[in-house]
Amino acid sequence: MRKNVKKQAQYLAAATLLLSACATQSTTPIVPVTPPGTTTMTAVVEEVTVANLPAVQSYVLGEANGKWLVIGGRKDGLHKRRPFEAFVAAGNNTSLYVIDVAAAQVWSAPLAGVSPAIAEQLQSTNMESHQRGDTLYVIGGYGYSATAGDHITHAALTAIKVPAMIDAVIGNAAIAPHIRQVTDERLAVTGGYLGELDGTFYLAGGQRFTGRYNPMGPNHGPGFVQEYTNEIRRFKINDDGAALAIAEYTAWHDDANLHRRDYNMVPQIFADGSRGFTMFTGVFQYDRDVPWLNTVDIRATGHTVVPGFQQLLSQYHNAHVPLYDPQQKAMHTLFFGGMAQFYYDAAGALKEDTAVPFVRTISMVTRAADGSLKEYAIGQMPALLGASAEFIANPAVPTAADGVLRLDALPATGVALGYILGGIESTAPNVFFNDGVATSAASARLFRVTLMPASK
């Protein structure tokens, strides 16, 4: 959800590159500089053609046996500014999709034969999700509810058996036997993030939004209620395959640092070897409608703001991938395109746009062995892509932890890290204040990301 006002300029210090990146149709060459003791790699982004891919953004995804299960999200682009056009029900994704990239096949099935509560949640946008084993857990999400007669944030936890659901979609069988749902008001969150650490789930940030979006504010018809959680909600999910329940619920409340949504929370391995997450930027600040630029680390013991660091080149949720180098104790997180308050122009000058436009920047945040963070612009996407997309890792790439790929284990000949699926493609950097109909759209494009030694 977008709002925009002006703010003072901020600047990004020049930095050397740990990785370089190139993309098809990229016009801005970026020369990598290798710091001592590191390895320069090249991330190559190239389009892959698969017929009948769904055009969808802000969805959730499950994986099993080399196939992807795509659920929810929207079939249109960036939401419109005028309330009667924003988040219309006709833009809901009301189908389940199964994608087999290796076989270049796509199957679909309608959200049919399930309860209204399940069908309405699973066609909403900006749900939080996490897959544990064969089960995809889905929380919250925002969209029109015919039952409520209004746009709501769903107060529900839904469990989906991914392999069985994939088989049902492919075989045109009933989907209801593979879905279970419980309601819980504490889970009415959209635009947050869900992760799991040692059996505990972390529902971080986000908001509860009720009513139709209106950039003029909550008291201008049709009106709405917006409540940021300002929390990291921690709990266990008790699931015996039949009963489903939330247990051991606690919350860390922090008005100053957790007031953010529509961001990226990425698994991290810290320099001491411990695991956790980093909440990267997000929107909006209290006194100005601009993104937060700081980041928040989450460990099992609590959360802390990273001192002295600002992430400028990626603010909203976009496709991203974490890479860990145990030899250097360096944690790299790559961000592909999306939307950002800052970007580099063709001459290499850093520019600011408080409207937070769509950008082509491929950026990277590196956490060094001493715990310090630095940000690098490392290339460009082939178009204004990446926002509200997902990166799906290649299961053949070794992992150091859940979702974190091992940089040191990659072969010298290069390897496909994974794919970027869907998201929003925009026709111009700033389209939010343009009330035209052809400004942005949900993307039906698929890109393979390959990491190669720079000398190749």
* 456 residues of the chain, pLDDT tens digit each: 655 322 222 222 222 233 333 333 332 333 232 332 334 556 789 999 999 999 999 999 999 999 999 999 999 988 876 777 788 999 999 999 999 999 999 999 999 999 999 999 999 999 999 999 999 999 999 999 999 999 999 999 999 999 999 999 999 999 999 999 999 999 999 999 999 999 999 999 999 999 988 777 777 777 899 999 999 999 999 999 999 999 999 999 999 999 999 999 999 999 899 999 999 999 999 999 899 999 999 999 999 999 999 999 999 999 999 999 998 899 999 999 999 999 998 888 899 999 999 999 999 999 999 999 999 988 899 999 999 999 999 999 999 988 899 988 887 777 789 999 999 999 998 887 776 666 899 999 999 998 765 544
Q: What radius of gyration, in Å, describes the C-alpha atoms of the chain?
A: 21
Q: Which amino acid is at 450?
A: T
Contacts of 342 (CB under 8 A, 6+ apart): 10, 12, 312, 313, 350, 351, 352, 353
Q: Which three-class secondary structure state does DSSP give residue 55?
A: coil
The answer to whether the CB of 387 falls within 8 A of the CB of 423 is yes
Q: Where are the alpha helices (DSSP H) in 64-154?
A: 116-121
Distance, CA of 65 to CA of 71 (rounded, Å):
17
Q: Which amino acid is at 227?
A: E
Structure tokens at 96: 């389940």
Distance, CA of 301 to CA of 297 (rounded, Å):
11
DSSP string, 275-324: EEEEEE--B--SSSSS----EEEEETTEEEEPTT----S--S-BEEEEEE
pLDDT, residue 37, reads 32
The answer to whether the CB of 207 falls within 8 A of the CB of 261 is yes
Backbone angle region of 426, left / alpha / beta, with phi > 0 → left and psi within -120 to 50 → alpha: beta
Distance, CA of 430 to CA of 449 (rounded, Å):
26
The answer to whether the CB of 179 falls within 8 A of the CB of 159 is yes
DSSP string, 199-232: TEEEEES-EEEEE---TT-TTSTT-EEEEE--EE
pLDDT, residue 82, reads 78
Distance, CA of 324 to CA of 278 (rounded, Å):
14
Nearest to 290 by CA among 356, 335, 342: 356
Predicted TM-score (pTM) of this structure: 0.91
pLDDT, residue 454, reads 52
The total of other beta-carbon atoms located within 10 Å of residue 298's CB is: 25
Distance, CA of 173 to CA of 438 (rounded, Å):
37
Backbone angle region of 356, left / alpha / beta, with phi > 0 → left and psi within -120 to 50 → alpha: left
Determine if the peptide bond prior to 222 is cis (ω within 30°).
yes
- If residue 343 lies in a helix (H) or strand (E), which one and from where to where? strand 342-344
The answer to whether the CB of 123 falls within 8 A of the CB of 152 is no
pLDDT, residue 16, reads 26
Determine if the peptide bond prior to 284 is cis (ω within 30°).
yes
pLDDT, residue 437, reads 61
